[in-house]
Structure 1
Amino acid sequence: MLRRSHKKSKRGCLQCKLRHVKCDEGHPLCRLCVMSGRDCSFASQPRLNNQRSSASDRSSQETSLLSPDDCQEPVAAASLSDTTPNSHEPMFDNVVNMEHMELFVHLITNKDLFSLGDKFGDFQHTFDICVKKSVKAPYLLHQMLAFCARHLAVIHPQRSTHYLNQAVGLQTRAVSLFNSTKRHVDASNCVPILLFSVTLGHHLLADALASRDPGGLDDFLSQYVQCVDMNRGIFNVVISAWPLLVDSELEPVLSWSRRQSGKYPVGNHCDPVLQLIRDSNSLNDTEKDVCREATEYLQVGFDATVLEKEGEESNRYRMIFQWTMLSSPEFTKLLKAKQPEALILLGYYALLLHYGRNLWQVRDTGAYLLGLIVEYLSPEWHFWLGYPRRMLGYNVENRLGYRKPLPGSPAADMITSWEPILRTRPRDKNTERAKRDAQDAAQVEKKRREAYFLSVTNGSGHAHATPVRDKFQTFRDCGIKVFQGMNFLKFLELEEDTILEMLSQNAVLIEGEECGKKRWLRKCNECRFRKGLIYHKLNLTSGTKKFPIVPSRQLEFATPLDRFFPGFSDNLEHNRPHFNTCLGLIYRTQACEQRWTMWMARCPRCERWQELRAFRIWGLYQHWKPERMTLDTHGLRGNDEGQWISEEMLDRSICNSCFAESKGREELARHLQQLLSTLMKWELRRLSGQLAGGFHNLSWRSGFRLSKQNSKEWKNLLKQTPCLNKDYQYICTHNDVALLRLRRGQCLELWKVANEGFQEWYDGWVRSMEDIEAHWNWIMGCKDEIEENPDVLADWALKRDGAAFT
């Protein structure tokens, strides 16, 4: 068997050299020896006095997490950022300074620091316990301040290096203080030790998810697995000290957390993974069990995001952290070995991360991780990632020419730049020969795309119900080469696995020919802007010379609120219902979503490209475009689809972050509140129209009739309902909604007497009205909350990534 490759370390310990692994050269013991329980040769070697610890040696600092038998196994406390503290930065060892005060004030005033979407009612009480215990446990206080510095590095990217240095120094000090304490757990120290372990675990998770090392999936897995190993120690702490913790002040929150993680999975998001695990030939029974257990925990996480009930304490993204401790060590080994089934399960975890992308610890890690997994796995595994890829908007058959070329392909050997080459004068386009060539090329391209789409979908294509064996002629018609010299009888003799393997080989063949052929044509938005290739006076949607606008992809949104304020209610008491309402479109009566074009714009102040919502530019309808308007082009009618967009207005536009820096956070909150109130008003009008609509033409809608006596009584009831006679701009009040609910109940009593089948139609109608009413209640509740505290909108705007589409 070939010896595994490794990176050499010239000053590594003897044990690591003998094991052919890279030593981190940490003193007094290297991390790998500590974690594997070996005797490190550094322990018997004196360290030079002039050697100073830095952030690059942070993994050499030891901490200890209790195992169930009360025996502490030393584990390296690693902060996964790549920042090295400057020698001129204060090390926070003994002196308390104003920078400590800044972190402490941030600690006690920011409620989102430790939040993973939870809204446990007794959070403030638990936080008070944490602060109180930290006074007697300095290691806990140092770790809390380190986590604060890590948070500030995210929300203040211009000072991220400074705050990351603080986080590394404080975490190193916290670990050192923790190592100096007594190792036996009792009633006096079980609470601070648990709080320290949890805070350290959250810190390591934030560092792991922020990893963007050039090593790709290997580097990400290395740091993520290290975080998992550390967080599993937290689980050991809870198990070993549970009898003591039950009698402590943390009993309510621990019991609640145990109930949440112990729920039974009810959704079907992970059904494809369960099928893959069940049918896998490369996993033994034990490995299947641990993968199935990890999948069930992950399904509980998906359930929490979509099956949240009113009155139930929220734990929407708690599984993002808990999954790192609840998964079995055997599953972690499968991840280290990059077993395809484990990586596909990690791809579903990436989807859970994508759902929690508004959290400061997560951001765009879900899309980044899924991209790494898709790039690593061969095409035959992509089928099992269909659901997360579909949720993240992947498109498998388009734009092959712009992808990264495959190693060894002709495009990978091409030496070129991003600049287009000089072209010769093209042939006359009007000749008959040129037209025939263009038509033939279009047919070839169409067949190639169809062949690739069939290959990457295991032969199913768009006809999922048709068996693969019935598609022989389809395979030949689209030009798949492996089936060209084959007759139908020979095709029937092939096993299905053989057919799928042939399709996979065809996909790889097409990717080798097409991937990367057009990459030299690509130009980033910034390069196009600097060369003046974006703005044109005849293109009304190109912005201005100072403020360029570029159209991007199209995404589906249910309402303008979701388009311009995605996730704004996640930190409010009134959370958005997990379902959408029908939009009432003419040609798509059951449609609940519409495609909106995303627009990228460049902030003239910070020079960052962000989505247009970050500049408080908006519209009401899905076909809206940010067109420059003048009196000549639009007259006096203005813009009935959104705000008036002029060239002067665009030149003054800056992103939310720059706006808050120049005019203040309160002014930003006021502008966002005005915009959101306008969008809420239009959405409430639409919902009110749907709630009040349908009563007058109930006979036509349902297809049933009333007797003369009941018809007269029904008309009298409608006359006594004032909101039914309002125009389209009317917004229902709480009394109107209650009255309409009463009228629906009276409708059943009058109509079901003479119509036997009316009950079934009525139940469907009431369900749709209840969905609309739930959205109406959500918007009304959010409106009241934001009027009381508009600063939550400033928090939402400043914490999210301005370039994110959702």
Structure 2
Amino acid sequence: MMRRRHKKSRRGCLECKRRHIKCDETRPQCINCVTAERACPYPASTTSPASAASASSKSGSPQMPRAGCSPGPVPGPAPGLHLLDDDDDDDNGPPVNLLHMELLYHYLTDTFASYSPMSDTLQQIIMRHALREPYLMYQVLAVSARHLSVLRPQQADYYHDQAIELQTRALSLFNAIDLASLTSRVPVFVFSSTLGFHALYDMLSHRDDTFASALARFTGYLRLHRGVYHVMDGHGDEIAQSELKPIIELGKQWYVMAGEGHECDDLRARIEARTEELEAARRAISLLQCVFDGKPTPAARIHVLLAWTTMIPRPFVAMLEAGRPEAMAVLAYYFLALHLCREVWIIGDSGRFLLESVAAYLGPEWAPWMERPCQMLQEVEAVICATTIVTTAKAVPMATQHAQFAIQRPSAADAPRIARIHLAAMDTNPLLHAQFPTPSSLLALEDFLTAETADALSSSPSSPSSSSGVLVARDPETGVVAGFAKWDATTTTVKKKTKLEEGELRYAEGCRREFLDGYAALAEEAKKRSFGHATPCYQLNFVCTDPAYQGRGAGSLLTRTVLDMAAAEGLPVYLESTMVAVPLYEKLGFRAIDGFEMGIPRRGSSSDELSETYREICMVWYPPPAHE
């Protein structure tokens, strides 16, 4: 990775010295330790009243991060990647490795689109500057690692640790730059935005036992994000006329500064009725109303919410840090706005959790202040519950609309996304990793699934009654595919279709063919034994949901759509289910009729010993009688 040399820290904390990274020397905790949530001890000999006074005189509270602390100009980045030797004493970071390549690939193909509805232009701008500014590249990789910690639950700790290390490196390098030497503030602006997403998710992913702890975490996030963003003070015109101009113009369409809505009317009236001067709170409320007034997609609204945290006045941040109840009430509305973005992976159900937490924290005395945001939360929840009811119909249209998803037939252009969802959703399945045990074999599987799906979509007829097909659950606002279902329809006049594991997939690079062949044979025997080959039916082969969208009904809606199609023809639906999914299918009306098991190596084991038993259950659903 491209390197930027810097002066080593002489008076840094012991933790940074132990990790051989540059410390920004902020007391009582440096930014590296705050970010990684580690203890931050300083050597007693380096602490003096003068240095403590100097640190405190710059701000009433630690400013994070402090850019421009390097004593002299910093050379520009090297013209190429710099790989360290084992005895290299440079503390700019570890050598580039395959993990970095994986994270960069994931960012380009998945992470960026997961939180940014902007065009490819912004992605190109980010990567152009990241390849020249190491601090930005490290932060891009950190966000990608944090996203993977969500998508791959079994490896969550590993990717979370990687995200912490990469973000720490990014902040250390950022703190070392000499602002006077910068020829453009664009990479700093992009870094602030990317860091904001990461820091916000880190804050929201915690479930603190007390709201006081959650508040301390939130104000820490504010200091971090605002500290970087305020490096842009005085450079707004430069950014507005830079290559980011079309992106900024798009953002202005999201953020309606007039503040004409009424969501915050009750809060504004209560603030106005207070006797003390609360101008900072009034300003924060006006900006918050702008968040509600903007009607972008959930992913775009995240940008608006991040803008609010950088635009609120400093005195209001001080009110939050002091625990003023009026400020807590304003924050409750911010948490409500977060809940409106629950579809985005960095938000989830955190908005509801925090709103309910602050209401409990303020207690009965402030209950009137909390009544309106809690009422709006209940209204949102009521809409969600009402729109998840799926009406059964005999005939299924080509696109079924849902509050969060549109069920429709995809195009061949969706094939790469469908393949990635397949791997992400099946990552916890031990059989997948027995069949494809190496990263290269999983990449070969992804390529195969992409090609196989694209071929099926480009050649299959558009009629709903075709003998096989693919459906996707698509977010109607962002257009993102959240999940898919694949099925075959067999009749007495249609030749039995070859099972995926029996076809060309067996020749994919690096696969363990014995586990593909073994599974295919067992599944075929179980179906023949329990259901028979000649029985006309729909066979549901895969129902996979992106882990970032799980729990929101996409899988159930896809399955119900296939059931409706089968019911329209009076046919049963057959499937083989993992043990984890059996309860879901039972709720949809399936019943178990058989099953099978096979021995496989334990995931991650270097031995071929068949030490783990993999099981699947054969299930069938029958359409209701015609008179029902």
Q: With structure 2 as the length reference, what TM-score do the two structures score?
A: 0.51
CA displacement 1:319-340 (0-9 Å, x = unmatched): 2211111111111122222222
Residue type of the partner of 1:381? W
Within the candidate set 477, 487, 496, 1:570 is matched to 477
Q: Is residue 2:208 matched to residue 1:213?
A: yes
Compared with structure 1, are the counterparts of its residues 335 and 356 closer, same or farther at alpha carbon in structure 2 (3 Å cutoff)? same
Matched residue SS, 2:295: helix
Matched residue SS, 1:359: coil
Where does residue 381 of structure 1 map in the other structure?
366
Where does residue 190 of structure 1 map in the other structure?
185
Q: Is residue 2:226 matched to residue 1:232?
A: yes
In 2: Cα distance, 1:194 partner to 1:230 partner: 14
Structure 1 or 2, whichever has the larger Rg, is 1
In 2: Cα distance, 1:392 partner to 1:650 partner: 45
Aligned-CA RMSD value: 4.5
Compared with structure 1, are the counterparts of its residues 264 and 185 closer, same or farther at alpha carbon in structure 2 (3 Å cutoff)? farther
Matches within 5 A, 1:309-348: 315-348=300-333
CA displacement 1:300-353 (0-9 Å, x = unmatched): 1112238x8xxxx99434322111111111111222222222112111111111
Where does residue 284 of structure 2 map in the other structure?
294
- Contact 1:28–1:42, Cα closer than 8 Å, also in 2: no
Overall identity of the aligned pairs, in %: 27
Within the candidate set 247, 252, 255, 2:246 is matched to 252
Residue type of the partner of 2:205? A
- Contact 1:301–1:317, Cα closer than 8 Å, also in 2: no
In 2: Cα distance, 1:573 partner to 1:613 partner: 12
- Contact 1:235–1:326, Cα closer than 8 Å, also in 2: no
Q: Is residue 2:94 matched to residue 1:98?
A: no
Matched residue SS, 1:212: coil
Where does residue 295 of structure 2 map in the other structure?
305
- Contact 1:28–1:43, Cα closer than 8 Å, also in 2: no
Matched residue SS, 2:385: strand
Compared with structure 1, are the counterparts of its residues 185 and 229 closer, same or farther at alpha carbon in structure 2 (3 Å cutoff)? farther
Compared with structure 1, are the counterparts of its residues 255 and 644 closer, same or farther at alpha carbon in structure 2 (3 Å cutoff)? closer
In 1: Cα distance, 2:134 partner to 2:167 partner: 12
Q: CA deviation at 1:380?
A: 3.4
Where does residue 794 of structure 1 map in the other structure?
none
Matched residue SS, 2:66: strand
CA displacement 1:379-405 (0-9 Å, x = unmatched): 23223222332233399xxxxxxxxxx
In 2: Cα distance, 1:238 partner to 1:649 partner: 64
Where does residue 385 of structure 2 map in the other structure?
555
Compared with structure 1, are the counterparts of its residues 236 and 62 closer, same or farther at alpha carbon in structure 2 (3 Å cutoff)? closer
Q: Is residue 2:243 matched to residue 1:241?
A: no
Residue type of the partner of 2:176? S
In 1: Cα distance, 2:221 partner to 2:200 partner: 6
In 1: Cα distance, 2:220 partner to 2:229 partner: 15
Residue type of the partner of 1:191? V
- Contact 1:619–1:643, Cα closer than 8 Å, also in 2: no
Q: CA deviation at 1:100?
A: 0.9
Where does residue 435 of structure 1 map in the other structure?
none
Where does residue 378 of structure 2 map in the other structure?
393
Compared with structure 1, are the counterparts of its residues 646 and 573 closer, same or farther at alpha carbon in structure 2 (3 Å cutoff)? closer
Where does residue 355 of structure 2 map in the other structure?
370
Compared with structure 1, are the counterparts of its residues 336 and 564 closer, same or farther at alpha carbon in structure 2 (3 Å cutoff)? closer
In 1: Cα distance, 2:252 partner to 2:353 partner: 31
The alignment covers a number of residue pairs equal to: 372
Q: CA deviation at 1:199?
A: 1.6
Matches within 5 A, 1:138-287: 138-184=134-180, 186=182, 188-214=183-209, 216-257=210-251, 260-261=254-255, 263-281=257-275, 284-285=276-277, 287=278
CA displacement 1:125-158 (0-9 Å, x = unmatched): 1211111111211111111101111111112222
In 1: Cα distance, 2:301 partner to 2:324 partner: 29
Compared with structure 1, are the counterparts of its residues 381 and 394 closer, same or farther at alpha carbon in structure 2 (3 Å cutoff)? farther
- Contact 1:617–1:643, Cα closer than 8 Å, also in 2: no
Compared with structure 1, are the counterparts of its residues 650 and 384 closer, same or farther at alpha carbon in structure 2 (3 Å cutoff)? farther
Matched residue SS, 1:648: strand
Matched residue SS, 1:225: helix
Compared with structure 1, are the counterparts of its residues 618 and 386 closer, same or farther at alpha carbon in structure 2 (3 Å cutoff)? farther
In 2: Cα distance, 1:650 partner to 1:320 partner: 51
In 1: Cα distance, 2:383 partner to 2:340 partner: 19
In 2: Cα distance, 1:373 partner to 1:195 partner: 32
Matches within 5 A, 1:484-523: none
Compared with structure 1, are the counterparts of its residues 159 and 113 closer, same or farther at alpha carbon in structure 2 (3 Å cutoff)? farther
In 1: Cα distance, 2:258 partner to 2:228 partner: 23
In 1: Cα distance, 2:321 partner to 2:285 partner: 17
In 2: Cα distance, 1:164 partner to 1:349 partner: 26
- Contact 1:62–1:175, Cα closer than 8 Å, also in 2: no
Note the residue ranges of structure 1 that are not aligned, 5 or more in a row: 1-11, 14-25, 48-59, 73-90, 396-551, 575-602, 621-629, 632-641, 653-806
- Contact 2:63–2:227, Cα closer than 8 Å, also in 1: no
Higher RCO by CA contacts (8 Å cutoff, separation 6 or greater): 2
Residue type of the partner of 2:476? S
In 2: Cα distance, 1:318 partner to 1:193 partner: 16
Matched residue SS, 1:357: coil
Matches within 5 A, 1:590-605: none
CA displacement 1:681-711 (0-9 Å, x = unmatched): xxxxxxxxxxxxxxxxxxxxxxxxxxxxxxx
Where does residue 591 of structure 2 map in the other structure?
647
CA displacement 1:249-304 (0-9 Å, x = unmatched): 223323443564462112111111111111124xx22x2x2212111211111122
In 2: Cα distance, 1:266 partner to 1:297 partner: 11
Note the residue ranges of structure 2 that are not aligned, 5 or more in a row: 1-11, 14-21, 32-39, 48-61, 73-90, 391-400, 407-473, 482-543, 562-570, 573-585, 597-628
In 2: Cα distance, 1:649 partner to 1:184 partner: 72
Where does residue 115 of structure 1 map in the other structure?
115
Q: CA deviation at 1:619?
A: 6.4
Residue type of the partner of 1:201? G
- Contact 2:404–2:476, Cα closer than 8 Å, also in 1: no
Compared with structure 1, are the counterparts of its residues 571 and 153 closer, same or farther at alpha carbon in structure 2 (3 Å cutoff)? same
Q: CA deviation at 1:363?
A: 0.6
- Contact 1:354–1:366, Cα closer than 8 Å, also in 2: yes
Q: CA deviation at 1:168?
A: 1.0
CA displacement 1:613-659 (0-9 Å, x = unmatched): 64458769xxxxxxxxx99xxxxxxxxxx99824238999xxxxxxx
In 2: Cα distance, 1:554 partner to 1:266 partner: 26
CA displacement 1:101-141 (0-9 Å, x = unmatched): 1101011112645725xx34xx3112111111112111111
Compared with structure 1, are the counterparts of its residues 34 and 71 closer, same or farther at alpha carbon in structure 2 (3 Å cutoff)? farther
Compared with structure 1, are the counterparts of its residues 30 and 261 closer, same or farther at alpha carbon in structure 2 (3 Å cutoff)? same
- Contact 1:198–1:234, Cα closer than 8 Å, also in 2: no
- Contact 2:264–2:285, Cα closer than 8 Å, also in 1: yes
Compared with structure 1, are the counterparts of its residues 106 and 182 closer, same or farther at alpha carbon in structure 2 (3 Å cutoff)? same
- Contact 1:140–1:174, Cα closer than 8 Å, also in 2: yes
Matched residue SS, 1:360: coil
- Contact 1:27–1:42, Cα closer than 8 Å, also in 2: no
Q: Is residue 2:334 matched to residue 1:349?
A: yes
